[in-house]
Every structure is written in C-alpha cells, then in structure tokens.
Amino acid sequence: MEKLLARLERRFARYAPEGIILWIVAISGVLHLLVFAKPEAAAFLWLDPNAVLRGEIWRAFTFLFAPLGPVTTTGLFWTALGLWFLHTMGTALEAQWGSFRFDLYFFLAAIGTLAIAFVVGPVSGRWVATSLLLAFAVEFPEYEVLLIILPVKVKWLGLLSGGYMIWQLVGGGLQTRAAIGVSLGVFLLFCGADLLSWGRRAAGDGRRKIPDGFGPAERRTRVCAKCGRSDKDDPSLEFRVCDCQEVCRGKLTEYCLEHAKTPH
C-alpha cells in the first residue's frame, strides 16, 4: 500500500488542495450553530439514501459534519473544544503526510461511508473523525492534551477510541458496524504498516534473548528542536510536543523538558 500511495502522490500531489481541515471545521461549526438555533433542521442534514435519490443531494455531504441530535448551550462548548482538537489533528497529519495523503484519507473514508449507506441504510459520519484520531495517535503518540486539568497522551485516547470502535463493531447494529468497518479499513490502509512495526517491536522487546539479526526495529530518535539533544545522548531525557503558532507555526515540534518549559 505504501508503494501505491507513493506512486499516486508523485503523480497527483500537485492537484491536492491544501488546508481542507479548515473547511471541515468551519462547515461543522456552522451546521452545529444551525441546529442549535433550529433543532428541527438536524433531520434534514442526516444521511438518508432514499431522500438523496429523491433529490435532496446535500445530505450526501452534510451528514459528515452535522450533529447527531439537538445541540444545547453546553453542547456548543464541547463542540468548540472538539473542533479545535480536530483542527489540531488535521493540521498535524497534513504536515506529517502532505496534503495529498491527508486529503485522500478523508475522502476515501467519506466516500466509503456514503457508499455503504446505499447498501445498509442511513449511517453516521462520526466514525470518520474517530479514525482520524486513531491516525493522529499513531503518528504523534506522545502528544498531550488536557482533559479538564489532567494531561493525557494521545496514544491512550487512541487506545480508548479504538477499543470503543471494536466494541461497537462487535455489538452494534448493522449500520454502525458497516460505518465503523469502512473507517477502520481506511485507517489500516494508511497506518497498518506502522501498527505492524509496533507489534513486531513490542514482541522483540519482550524476548529475553534475541538472536543476532532478528532484533526489534530501531526506535525513532527524538531530538530537541532547540538544543539538539536526543534520547540517544541521554536515554532518560524527557520530551514534550508543541504546536504553537508563534514559533512552531502549528506544526508539532519536539522539545526536551527543559526547553519545553521556557519560550522556544
């Protein structure tokens, strides 16, 4: 899959639009405000294949961004936080992968979810965003977010979200299982190689004796963007990730603990 993606990227990358995450966040925000002002509007935004065939074409687009139910004042607050985090994830993944791969990931998940709806019936677009969280956790496992006042690394949020998706995949209804299957399938296409590498490395680390030539894959070296020290120089060195606009320009950048606590 990696070779195919590389070939597609070389051929079509110049056509890929940049910054579509801004549009995703903006459209989702507008639709949540619309449903907050007019709760009855939600029913006209959800995906209904029969309604789409009757001419309500907008549903094939708005279902990806519309809320799943009424939006309260408190709900708007949590929506704002969620959209901020979605923007952080999308910006970081686009910087890491490039616009072409990020756009392809999103559109494959969106089009696949839309297509499956015409087979099994109305589905939710929420799992597309959840799969982006899984991809973000794979690419930036040490990134920390604040849950109320507690800092939590994204890898743990990814494990919780992945566990919930699997639980719903096993025990949910047909439509839920189909939508999750599409989103997980796209996630595995783009991140499956990294997960496999992690599994092999973990298996290798768990062995007491490893024959020569069969050791675990080399771990990525973490380097402070300020002082240049790495965890090869000092294995006990701790790192933090920053994505401030002033210095890092929104791109996830690693700093040692000393320089993470001071202005970069």
Give the domain ranges of the chain: 2-196, 219-264
Nearest Cα to Cα of residue 27 among 103, 79, 75, 105: 79
**Portion of the chain with pLDDT greater than 70, in percent:** 86
Q: Is the dihedral of CA 237, 241, 245, 251 positive or negative?
A: positive
Question: What's the pLDDT score for residue 9?
Answer: 81
Rounded to whole angstroms, the Cα distance separating 115 from 190 reads: 20
Read off the pLDDT of residues 85-109 as tens digits, 9 standing for 90 and up: 999 999 999 988 889 999 999 999 9
Name the range with the highest mean pLDDT among 6-20, 33-47, 229-243: 33-47
The torsion defined by the Cα of 137, 92, 101 and 132, in degrees rounded to 10, comes to 40
Mean pLDDT of 64-77: 88
Q: Pick the more confident residue, 176 or 198.
A: 176
pLDDT value for 162: 93
**Predicted pLDDT at 217:** 40
pLDDT digits (tens, 9 = 90+) for 179-233: 999 999 999 999 887 777 776 766 665 554 444 443 444 455 677 777 777 877 7
What count of Cα atoms within 13 Å lies in the side-chain half-sphere of residue 14? 2
* 27 CA to centre of own chain: 18
CA distance 206 to 216: 10
CATH superfamily of 2-196: Rhomboid-like (1.20.1540.10)
More confident residue, 193 or 32: 32
The whole-number pLDDT of residue 27 equals 95
Q: How far is CA 162 from CA 32, 83, 125, 166, 172, in A?
A: 25, 20, 16, 6, 14
